[in-house]
């Protein structure tokens, strides 16, 4: 009987000791962000490189050339001749406009490739035209696909 009382006493004592170690306060996340998405928009510049980017061919040259060609062709002749000149001007203008845009596409422009280590652990690479006084190691915020100094 004495062993049962001793065992029971030891169990109660150990339960009291372990219960004293437990905390009934909820775990609080440390940090200065209102929510997790804020952590995804702040980071530190890891690297900056200058890269060459080809211009894109949007088709705007063909459209603009076609409109200008049609306007010029419409000034020539009268009746069905005017209609034919308008169509020929539109087609010729579209071809010329497309060629001009294609030549422009062959030219490259420089952009800055900014590598950012985000506060939530992600790694992002953003291309933008201007640096705006950014340096490696700067704290930055990513807003709408652009990097701003924070």
In the predicted model, what is the mean pLDDT of residues 107-125? 88
Kindly tell me if the per-residue pLDDT of 57 is higher than 80.
no
Band (pLDDT 50/70/90 cuts) for residue 4 is: low
* 139 vs 36 pLDDT, higher one: 139
Mean of the per-residue pLDDT values of the chain: 76
What is the length of the chain?
150
In the structure, what pLDDT confidence band is assigned to residue 133 with cuts at 50, 70 and 90?
confident
pLDDT of 17 higher than 70: no
Q: Tokens representing 12?
A: 């109660």
The widest CA-to-CA distance across the chain, in whole angstroms, is 124
**For residues 98 and 61, is the Cβ–Cβ distance under 8 A?**
yes
pLDDT for residue 3: 61
Mean pLDDT of 117-127: 90
3-state secondary structure of 106: helix
Nearest to 130 by CA among 116, 107, 99, 109: 109
Tell me the C-alpha distance between 44 and 75, whole Å. 60
SS3 135: coil
Would you list the DSSP string of 50-87?
A: EEEEEPP--SHHHHHHHHHHHHHHTTSSSTHHHHHHHH
pTM: 0.46
How far apart are the C-alpha atoms of 53 and 12, rounded to whole Å? 73
CA pair distance 32, 25, nearest whole angstrom? 20
């Amino acid at each position: 009987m004495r062993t049962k009382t001793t065992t029971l006493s030891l169990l109660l004592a150990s339960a009291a000791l372990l219960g004293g170690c437990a905390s009934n306060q909820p775990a609080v996340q440390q940090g200065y962000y209102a929510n997790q998405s804020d952590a995804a928009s702040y980071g530190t510049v890891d690297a900056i490189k200058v890269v060459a980017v080809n211009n894109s061919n949007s088709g705007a040259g063909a459209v603009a050339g076609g409109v200008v060609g049609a306007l010029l062709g419409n000034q020539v002749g009268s009746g069905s001749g005017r209609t034919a000149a308008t169509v020929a001007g539109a087609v010729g203008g579209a071809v010329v406009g497309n060629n001009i845009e294609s030549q422009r596409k062959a030219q490259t422009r420089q952009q800055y490739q900014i590598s950012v280590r985000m506060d939530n652990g992600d790694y992002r690479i953003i291309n933008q035209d201007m640096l705006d006084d950014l340096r490696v190691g700067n704290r930055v915020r990513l807003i709408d696909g652009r990097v701003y100094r924070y």
